[in-house]
Structure 1
Amino acid sequence: MDNGQEHPHKDEAIHNVEHVDGMYRNWFLDYSSYVILERAVPAIQDGFKPVQRRIMHAMKEMDDGRYNKVANIIGQTMQYHPHGDASIADATVNLGQKDLLIDTQGNWGDVRTGDGAAAPRYIEARPSKFALEILYNPQTTQWQLSYDGRKKEPVTLPVKFPLLLAQGVEGIAVGLSTKVLPHNFNELIDASIDLLKGKSVSLMPDFPTGGLADFSEYNEGLRGGKIRVRAKIEEQDKKTLLIKEIPFGTTTTSLIESIIKANDKGKIKIKKVVDNTAADVEIEVHLAPGQSPDVAIDALYAFTDCEVSISPNACVIVDEKPRFMTVNDILRYNTQQTVDLLKQELEIRRGELLEKLLFSSLERIFIENRIYRDIEEATTWEEVIRRIDAGLEPYKKDFYREITEEDIVRLTEIKIKRISRYDSFKADELMRRLQEELAEVEHNLAHLVDYAIGYYKNLKQKYGKGRERKTEIRSFDTIQAAQVAANNAKLYVNRAEGFIGYSLKKDEFVCECSDIDDIIVFKRNGTYQVSKIQDKAFVGKDILHVGVFRKNDERMVYNAIYVDGETGRTMVKRFQVLGITRDKEYDVTKGAKGSKLLYFTANPNGEAEVVTVHLTAQSKAKIKIFDFDFATQEIKGRGAGGNILTKYPVRRVVLKREGVSTLGGLEVYYDDSVGRLNTDNRGRALGSFHGDDRILVIYKNGNYELTNYELSNRYDFENLLLIEKFNPEKIISAVYYDGNTKSWFVKRFRIETSTVDKPFLFITEARSSYVAVASTEEQPQIEVEFADKGAEKTLYDVDVMAELRGWKALGNKLNLGKIKGVRLVAATSKAEKEQLGLF
């Protein structure tokens, strides 16, 4: 009961209340900070998460040159790591699979197949020689107490190498993640040397699984960047593809599962997949009959894990805080840290040498000047120290520091046996060696950058062999999924009722298609729309035309004749539909009420037909039947109203004669950066292509091949010598090296075969045979470089060196001496050759 008296502690209690939301905020921040700093994100100094650092420290403590069971390493690490053995085991296996810091023995699993490592009690490890050289130095290590205070562990290891970028790291913290991709060992060393020389660098990741990668959007490893990584796929034959390397982050198992899943969904048609992976990755993909290998490769990239996208996010701990940095900045930091550590080591060594020289000098003075005899009559320890100090007094000015009592005490500890056997010559020799080493250390300190460069070069020489780049840097083209998807559905239409879809099997069949295709529908009232294909969809009655819609298809041209409901005039138009909003209704006509289509065709190559127009019998026109050629109409955009065909009523329009394309040939270009054809003006123009035109391709391995000009074609651009529009009248001039006879040959021939997509070998079958020059110029010229020292390069006309023969002929031998190489000289006109005296 309140009796009116004040409660003395009431206000104080109110002020001491701690709200739950505040407690939660503080606890959550503490927890997230702990996870970020102590578990998930690596330190920039050594590139390690705490568990990895503790593993490497424990391995060094155990190291005696022999292998240790991983189970024992886990037990040793648990003295420093308070999170249990499972996390230590996983981190140890992860480090071992990177094949850099740990020398492994036993079954450590396979990152390519996804197979796990054997149990820790069965596998063994020890620090690699590389790790011992770059990771450890107790004198330059900053130490801290372990979690229970019983041991000392490194705050960070003094790493003299950009280890973080070499190994890569991935971690998920609370509200934060990091993903630093691995980079090539030798390229990192070269880049560090370039930085020390003041040059700019550009780093690209390199993955242990190899593959192909497009780094055009890498963004130096920062957030927002993206890398596209592809499997390396080869065409074994027209029915079989071989996957030789896989994208980083995938395994052969997951890759095969993704291929089977895409096949089950009908995106790609295959017969079977066989995994032959052993020492090297090899996955056989057997294609279904009728499948194009080039289209199948694109489909594998579009619908399976044969292509993956990786988003880097370089976040590291700097000064106890997470920080987002570019890989170039990380490399710059690690390179400077290496220089600083090398400087510390040199300074420590200099101090050690100075101390050794000082004591050697003291020892020599003490013995040669017989100062030890001065202490024979001393009766106290203090007097011993004083007498030795007095004996050294004349020489103190020559030492680099003051002589302390500790130094004098060390002199008193010299044994009589050593004094009696003292050899001044050996002492001089020892001091000379120490002085030479000290001079070298001083020189290295004065030229620290050169010393660091030499250190990096030594690392590369000792450990760089076998660490060449595995991932090939490429530029990828964008694959349109709809264009490479296998036709896994059939399109049907019910024109009267207005339904389309792939479940209307009792209705009119239109075409084969994919279940990701868009469908365009034109109706009698002049409206049209694009919709996603479905099993059954209502689009409106009186359907005139239905077909698969290809966005930005400039070859598809629609020809239409319609009645304008407002004026009654009959209009004609030719138009394209390049891009439109899905499920939105558009008008072929001007949109007036009562408008309708009288005639409509869809022409995939811009054909323009001739039609006969019949006017009504009641019309006042003198000529009631006349022909109209659509070729007289310009092709315009979909919104154009068209031109007046007639102002009189039209009874009907009928086709008179099929037309031909009015678009001209298809302008095809070859982009040698990706080995693909395109119509986007990228790369070199191959020409204008019509109908059955072909492309001629000649490769360095001695094969020539005729192909069509489908944009899905793939060409081995690294092996390609010549690609151009095929002209059967042109003569091929080739110079090749014959591996059987170790001789050079020249030959001239015409293409006599007509089979498409089949390679023909026109040189000898020896493995070392190759083509150096291939040209279709009328008078090609070559430059021959001879192997003799001092010999000049000489020009020759190929057309006068060999006569025209069949493509299987061996050709003429080049009896010109010992040839080092042959190259094609830029085309020169006949008049220019005459001026140069080449005729």
Structure 2
Amino acid sequence: MSDLTAPPTPHPGDLSEPLRRALGDRYLTYALSTIMHRALPDARDGLKPVHRRILYAMRELRLSSTGGFRKSAKISGDVMGNYHPHGDAAIYDAMARLAQDFNVRYPLVDGQGNFGNIDGDNPAASRYTEARMTAVAEAMLEGLNENAVDFRENYDGTLTEPVVLPAQFPNLLANGSSGIAVGMATNIPPHNIAELCDACIHLIKTPDARDDTLLNYVPGPDFPTGGVIVEPPENIATAYRTGKGGFRLRCRWEVEELGRGAWQIVVTEIPYQVQKSKLIEKIAELIQTKKIPILADVRDESADDVRMIIEPRSKNVDPEVLMGMLYRNSDLEVRFSLNMNVLIDGVTPQVCSLKEVLRAFLDHRREVLQRRSTHRMEKIDHRLEVLEGFIIAFLNLDRVIDIIRYDEDPKAALMREAWGREHVRARDEADYVSPGPGSGELSEVQTDAILNMRLRSLRRLEELELLREQSELKAERAGLEDLLASEVLQWDSITAQLRETRKQFGKDWHGGARRTSFAEAGVVEDVPLEAMIDREPITVVCSQMGWIRAMTGHIDLNRELKFKDGDGPRFIFHAETTDRLLIFGSNGRFYTLSAANLPGGRGMGEPLRLMVDLPNEVQIVDLFIHKPGRRLLVASSAGDGFVVPEDDVLAQTRGGKQVLNVRGETRALICRPVSGDAVATVGENRKVLVFDLEELPEMGRGKGVRLQKFKDGGLSDATTFSRAEGLSWLDPAGRTRTQSDLGEWTGKRAGTGRMAPRGFPRDNKFN
């Protein structure tokens, strides 16, 4: 038995480790890969690996901003095959986004063909579109040939790719970024390049500048779709100081006069990353549901630019009021969240302030400057070595020619030769300036250059040109030595570069001017219906089967009206179009309906259940006009109830608002306005109980408390009244009877009560 239960003997090659550690190590590896290689951008060039590889592949294909276009399929294929071993669809989507001027403030890809639009339509397939780099992308890549950044092997070790791009401007802030990693996310809005350059120059001059001071140069985001930022300045300052916050962004609109007092609103810019087609669908839904009664129509007249028309229902409507309601109920106002979580050194994720991001860029630019200067010095040293060999050859031309012509191994002979003054050709000293001592051995580099020299380079003018080039290179090298030795000169050079970038992509550039402006949000107050709807008298009619309509004017309530076969009147009362109606269902929910939204009285009306989400099994307990400040007595068939402020039962949605909790066979039964100081209840057993109103609690929602106790049956009716005036009811003959002496029926709440007075209605109803 023990042999059957013994664990198997592990194989010598197997590795064993606890499951917790195995899962932890593997998940950590996945998390780090997602954070570093997919979701978070590098603070230095503001790019994720896929974007960096797309630009580098386009550079390798020589797709300059002034050259020809290539098929997008070719570009995405090269990126996938050489640098980014992921799906070509993902690569093409990333490249297409870099070409969308409504998504990217400074597009890095110049697209030809259908690359999508602001309505949310997808780009055409990669085989149909073509692309090349923009001038902005070329500014990101400048210096790659000069050892400006480190290179690493690609995924299969056959090629190399840059770890980061040189980036002439802070692209992280200029174009923004967004991404979701494991346990962290980033969301950075785009900004204006000219303003970022000014902020960088100020930070160079004042390294300990405060974040708030930088806001004098970068007041806020600059979205490619324009719009108006209405976030308070103190909130913007806090967001840039902490790296987290948000910006309220509104559309840009104007009032267009149509003559005779009529007007319409023209929206010319919509908020960033809002799809215009879905925005119009949302506004059309608001019109259909009559959630904004003063809104009549919306239509799209856009061509290359945005032109969205919003029509009011009446020319007497205030445009500010209409737009205020649209801000609340649609994406004409959005909130863009800021979360500057970036790879600050290409490795470590960190939530950075505006100053920290700019400082990371400037430190990167300084390193690029140093590396490019060092690379240039190496090139100059190599050229100076070659030039020195050329000059020696010119000074000893006859001997050089003799060696090349007659020696079996001219290269070795030239390198063995000790070049002295005796080999110098005779010449007029006044006509020639000696470059130096002219003695010593030639290096291999110099020898190869001499042997590869063309015969026509032996003319006298070429010799003078060599001397001039040598002098210029020595002067340039001295300048580079001074630059590398002085931090001040380095920052001066970076400042000059930033000024040049600001001039190139500033306000005079075709897309450089700021597009997003700033304004105060103002206070959008709750607008009463009276201010939005013409106040007109109506008569509300609701049938027993729940069909509701609004007759024009205040008609005679006893007038005979038409109903569907098998149907008849249930509720009929006078109202006005500015009123709000409350419907109390047997499920204990209150529903709110605007009288202005009721169908006209020409037909039979419409089912109330289609206007609010009233379930088919739920009966309508009461329908009445809402009066602010009033209180209501609500009670269930089980005899539980309470008092609720009428203002608290207003529902904002079609689904209504739950107020009286009922379950099982119990149903909501009573909804009466509260008046007086006493409560009277009557059960199905015809027992009446009177108690003080103050014994009932005032609640917003709940089951309530016991009003009256019943041995059998339940509650039949309840009402409130004033003890001084007595309890009244209608007798079977239709006459009002009042019982002033109520001592026999008075008791404490939850009592059983006494049999009803003589003459009390047989239906056990007070009214």
Distance in 2 (alpha carbons) for counterparts of 1:413 and 1:507: 104
Q: SS in structure 2 opposite 1:156?
A: coil
Q: Deviations over 1:185-225 (max 9, x none)?
A: 22112222222222541232111111111344341185641
Is the contact made by 1:228 and 1:307 (CA closer than 8 Å) also made in structure 2? yes
**1:391: Cα distance to partner?**
7.1
User: 1:688 is matched with which residue?
Assistant: none
User: 1:150 is matched with which residue?
Assistant: 158
Is 1:129 the counterpart of 2:135 in the alignment?
Answer: yes
User: 1:477 is matched with which residue?
Assistant: 522
User: 2:301 is matched with which residue?
Assistant: 276
Is the contact made by 1:169 and 1:178 (CA closer than 8 Å) also made in structure 2? yes
Distance in 1 (alpha carbons) for counterparts of 2:382 and 2:451: 17
Distance in 2 (alpha carbons) for counterparts of 1:500 and 1:409: 97
Q: Which of 374, 389, 397 does residue 362 from structure 1 map onto? A: 389
Q: SS in structure 2 opposite 1:260?
A: helix
Is the contact made by 2:190 and 2:221 (CA closer than 8 Å) also made in structure 1? yes
Q: SS in structure 2 opposite 1:311?
A: strand
Letter in 1 for 2:197: I
Q: Structure 1 length normalisation: TM-score?
A: 0.57
Is 1:295 the counterpart of 2:305 in the alignment?
Answer: no
Q: Deviations over 1:128-162 (max 9, x none)?
A: 23322331413223222222222222222222221
Is the contact made by 1:160 and 1:337 (CA closer than 8 Å) also made in structure 2? no
Is 1:543 the counterpart of 2:585 in the alignment?
Answer: no
Distance in 2 (alpha carbons) for counterparts of 1:123 and 1:341: 35
Q: Deviations over 1:677-727 (max 9, x none)?
A: xxxxxxxxxxxxxxxxxxxxxxxxxxxxxxxxxxxxxxxxxxxxxxxxxxx
**Residues 661-700 of structure 1: pairs in structure 2 closer than 5 A:** none
Is the contact made by 2:321 and 2:524 (CA closer than 8 Å) also made in structure 1? no
**Higher RCO, Cα 8 Å, sep 6+:** 2
User: 2:41 is matched with which residue?
Assistant: 42
Letter in 2 for 1:281: V
Is the contact made by 2:298 and 2:311 (CA closer than 8 Å) also made in structure 1? yes
Is 1:448 the counterpart of 2:565 in the alignment?
Answer: no
Q: Which of 196, 206, 209 does residue 204 from structure 2 map onto? A: 196
Q: Structure 2 length normalisation: TM-score?
A: 0.62
User: 1:67 is matched with which residue?
Assistant: 69
* Alpha-carbon distance change, 415 to 17 in structure 1, aligned in 2, over 3 angstroms: closer
User: 2:96 is matched with which residue?
Assistant: 93
Distance in 1 (alpha carbons) for counterparts of 2:694 and 2:351: 65
Is 1:210 the counterpart of 2:240 in the alignment?
Answer: no
Aligned residue pairs total: 549
Distance in 2 (alpha carbons) for counterparts of 1:393 and 1:596: 134
User: 2:502 is matched with which residue?
Assistant: 460
Distance in 2 (alpha carbons) for counterparts of 1:211 and 1:597: 63
* Alpha-carbon distance change, 408 to 507 in structure 1, aligned in 2, over 3 angstroms: closer
Is the contact made by 1:211 and 1:246 (CA closer than 8 Å) also made in structure 2? yes
**1:440: Cα distance to partner?**
5.5
Distance in 1 (alpha carbons) for counterparts of 2:437 and 2:418: 17
Distance in 2 (alpha carbons) for counterparts of 1:16 and 1:96: 49
Q: SS in structure 1 opposite 2:256?
A: strand
Q: SS in structure 1 opposite 2:631?
A: strand
Is 1:260 the counterpart of 2:259 in the alignment?
Answer: no
Is the contact made by 1:493 and 1:510 (CA closer than 8 Å) also made in structure 2? no
Q: Deviations over 1:453-497 (max 9, x none)?
A: 221222222232231111112232353557689678723599xxx
Distance in 2 (alpha carbons) for counterparts of 1:120 and 1:8: 56
Is 1:109 the counterpart of 2:135 in the alignment?
Answer: no
Distance in 1 (alpha carbons) for counterparts of 2:374 and 2:335: 47
**1:349: Cα distance to partner?**
2.1
* Alpha-carbon distance change, 356 to 242 in structure 1, aligned in 2, over 3 angstroms: same
Is the contact made by 2:228 and 2:516 (CA closer than 8 Å) also made in structure 1? yes
User: 1:652 is matched with which residue?
Assistant: none
User: 1:241 is matched with which residue?
Assistant: 265
Is 1:168 the counterpart of 2:176 in the alignment?
Answer: yes
Is 1:490 the counterpart of 2:573 in the alignment?
Answer: no
Is the contact made by 1:141 and 1:154 (CA closer than 8 Å) also made in structure 2? yes
Q: SS in structure 2 opposite 1:225?
A: strand
Is the contact made by 1:214 and 1:228 (CA closer than 8 Å) also made in structure 2? yes
Is the contact made by 1:104 and 1:124 (CA closer than 8 Å) also made in structure 2? yes
Larger radius of gyration: 2
Letter in 1 for 2:114: N
Distance in 1 (alpha carbons) for counterparts of 2:422 and 2:188: 60
Distance in 1 (alpha carbons) for counterparts of 2:436 and 2:292: 88
Q: SS in structure 2 opposite 1:153?
A: strand
Is the contact made by 1:522 and 1:544 (CA closer than 8 Å) also made in structure 2? no
* Alpha-carbon distance change, 173 to 597 in structure 1, aligned in 2, over 3 angstroms: farther
Unpaired runs of 5+ in structure 1?
512-517, 546-562, 567-579, 586-593, 600-839
Higher helix share: 2
Distance in 2 (alpha carbons) for counterparts of 1:596 and 1:507: 24
User: 2:551 is matched with which residue?
Assistant: none
Is the contact made by 2:174 and 2:191 (CA closer than 8 Å) also made in structure 1? yes
Distance in 1 (alpha carbons) for counterparts of 2:2 and 2:624: 93
Q: Which of 310, 315, 319 does residue 341 from structure 2 map onto? A: 315
* Alpha-carbon distance change, 542 to 302 in structure 1, aligned in 2, over 3 angstroms: closer
**1:522: Cα distance to partner?**
7.6
Distance in 2 (alpha carbons) for counterparts of 1:53 and 1:19: 39
* Alpha-carbon distance change, 45 to 337 in structure 1, aligned in 2, over 3 angstroms: same
Q: Which of 512, 521, 526 does residue 631 from structure 2 map onto? A: 521
Q: Which of 355, 367, 372 does residue 340 from structure 1 map onto? A: 367
Is the contact made by 1:180 and 1:312 (CA closer than 8 Å) also made in structure 2? yes
User: 1:387 is matched with which residue?
Assistant: 417
**1:375: Cα distance to partner?**
5.0
Higher strand share: 1
Distance in 2 (alpha carbons) for counterparts of 1:468 and 1:206: 9
Is the contact made by 1:388 and 1:408 (CA closer than 8 Å) also made in structure 2? no
Percentage of matched positions with identical amino acids: 27
* Alpha-carbon distance change, 501 to 460 in structure 1, aligned in 2, over 3 angstroms: closer
User: 1:225 is matched with which residue?
Assistant: 245
**1:92: Cα distance to partner?**
0.7
Distance in 2 (alpha carbons) for counterparts of 1:207 and 1:11: 62
User: 2:715 is matched with which residue?
Assistant: none
User: 1:372 is matched with which residue?
Assistant: 400
Is 1:533 the counterpart of 2:533 in the alignment?
Answer: no
Q: SS in structure 2 opposite 1:104?
A: strand
Distance in 2 (alpha carbons) for counterparts of 1:402 and 1:130: 49
User: 1:837 is matched with which residue?
Assistant: none
Distance in 1 (alpha carbons) for counterparts of 2:47 and 2:271: 25
* Alpha-carbon distance change, 39 to 595 in structure 1, aligned in 2, over 3 angstroms: same
Q: Which of 441, 465, 486 does residue 426 from structure 1 map onto? A: 465
Is the contact made by 1:239 and 1:288 (CA closer than 8 Å) also made in structure 2? no
Q: Which stretch shows the higher mean deviation, 85-94 or 315-324? A: 315-324
Distance in 1 (alpha carbons) for counterparts of 2:94 and 2:299: 32
**1:313: Cα distance to partner?**
1.4
* Alpha-carbon distance change, 424 to 383 in structure 1, aligned in 2, over 3 angstroms: closer
**1:331: Cα distance to partner?**
1.7
Q: SS in structure 1 opposite 2:99?
A: helix
Letter in 2 for 1:532: V
